[in-house]
Structure 1
């Protein structure tokens, strides 16, 4: 049994009709704390322009606040500039790592949209005021890349969703010695020679779809990964309803390919009007948290914040059961054996 209490502040991010670039929709925020300030990067969809193709375009906006809820001073941050992102920048995930902020996002290079034009890119900032460089990361179809906040056994480590538009999608891990390897095609050519050894299989059914959600959080029990698990995404013989859910998994601190525990079912499913209605209806999708506040996009036109506390249980592969409490104000989740 999972209990998630939605925040009374919801939705915490809504389109601003005074800003042309975020007039239509705002969602999928990823948050990082720098000093006393919270910075949130998020996907913003512009007002329609009939003279442009596509009429509405996605960019990455940024806002800041002191309480993690009321994001203000919202401005465009990552705008399409290169050919490999000319049709949009979507769904950012931010991590502070070794002196820089790395913002991974989905770059769209073809319209109408197709898998070969949907790839991962990264923008790098020293101060969250300007982007100092950006790169196309994956030479293949992928989304939802996120960087672990520290090296794992000496290696830079990323998680991402592979083949999201050429299903079945897989959650994959890549490790490297130098950050520059991330945008080196030769690195990915070598990595791709044996994809299956880099994959974490979290699907509960062959008809499900999964995607990386928030950047992983280090705890004393392992890396906590909150992710999107869509049940019955593909048609099954039983013709069951599609359910967008948010779930969680614990990965080994030294080997993120090893799953130590996972939730039995979703922490959150669409329920409120702002989750059931919107740009894409009947959706919840997890974003970056701080102090284990899970931000999620619902209905894909607004952003929500969860509970002050949420409780769930998860099973270790060995069958050991423990309780995971999401607690406001703590530095990490509390686990009770």
Structure 2
């Protein structure tokens, strides 16, 4: 999108042992002129924790912790706590993240009152093997993208889990809380490959195996966005927490293009209905921005821009993203211009 300005890299890895491989995909919480950033910090061996730094204004880092703020504590997090996002509902902060044990990925979250200490609330995504999921997803054959069915059915058919150690579960990533309850319930975006879905609950205790069996058997009713355009030929996933505007929820997400045996990660945008986010008001037909700079094109994973947080200064929306799984970079766009573009599609 021509209206986007790239401001370059604002945070890079250090010699500190917990972040000597890379820092990227940050959760962002703005409080007036202060931006709190909770970033994925990776050390040698691809083990992830969550680091913290503070910005004055949208671009200037003024403080940075020399140790992780949040780190693995349970077996499901053995390999790391990854790709955090953060929102605030009433007086509580919700930090969601991916729990990775080296084989499986689950969606989890923690809460805080002060952005300093976080209390784990546990894993909230389903625990089904690929074969179990393949059976459940068959109920949606005539209603969803063939990719949903084929991906899991093929995994189960060839029984790939027998070739690997441990039990292999379906991955559910990109857990993102809306910054307010919708119709009195927590509203959470998540990603069961390859689309983006929405989950509602009053209390995480409701998310039982029976709940998820019914949910997945009727997955088409929970889909917010499916791959639609050329820059989304592989899959899509959640990006930044939705932003409430008078026009709807402004949602910056990531879209992945499969191109000549490589994947290209783009930042994309959509506008969702305030009361029912499965209703799409508008969606950009081309990426909001794509990998064009050297720090986005070449890194630990090439050709990646991965948006995970925003801050609004006047009418300029700053989008914080992981670049090539190495560093944190920033782009900005006038929010009114972006909303106008989405509403006029």
* Short-chain TM bin: 0.7 to 0.9
Match of 1:107 in 2: 99
1:258 aligned to 279, 282, 305, which one?
279
**Contiguous gaps of at least 5 residues in structure 2:** 128-170
Q: Deviations over 1:239-285 (max 9, x none)?
A: 58643211100000110000110112011111111101111111111
Equivalent pairs, count: 294
Question: Cα gap change, 1:182/1:279 in structure 2, threshold over 3 Å: closer, same or farther?
Answer: farther
| Structure 2 CA distance for aligned equivalents of residues 126 and 183 of structure 1 | 24
Contact 2:195-2:225 within 8 A present in 1 as well? yes
Aligned ranges for residues 5-20 of structure 1 at < 5 Å?
5-7=5-7, 10-17=8-15, 19-20=16-17
Aligned ranges for residues 1-337 of structure 1 at < 5 Å?
2-7=2-7, 10-17=8-15, 19-34=16-31, 36-46=33-43, 48=44, 55-71=45-61, 72-74=63-65, 75-109=67-101, 111=102, 113=103, 117-140=104-127, 141-163=171-193, 169-176=194-201, 178-181=202-205, 184-204=208-228, 207-232=233-258, 242-291=263-312, 292-307=317-332, 309=334, 322-323=340-341
- C-alpha displacement of 1:96: 0.8
| Structure 1 CA distance for aligned equivalents of residues 336 and 287 of structure 2 | 11
- C-alpha displacement of 1:128: 1.1
Q: Deviations over 1:186-242 (max 9, x none)?
A: 543443331111012331258331011000001111101101111236xxxxx5864
What's the TM-score, normalizing by structure 2?
0.78
| Structure 2 CA distance for aligned equivalents of residues 240 and 301 of structure 1 | 22
- Is the helix fraction higher in 1 or 2? 2
- C-alpha displacement of 1:313: 6.3
Q: Deviations over 1:108-162 (max 9, x none)?
A: 12x3x3xxx1110111111111112341121242100101111112221111111
| Structure 1 CA distance for aligned equivalents of residues 178 and 14 of structure 2 | 32
Question: Cα gap change, 1:224/1:310 in structure 2, threshold over 3 Å: closer, same or farther?
Answer: closer
| Structure 2 CA distance for aligned equivalents of residues 132 and 208 of structure 1 | 35
| Structure 2 CA distance for aligned equivalents of residues 254 and 262 of structure 1 | 17
What's the TM-score, normalizing by structure 1?
0.80
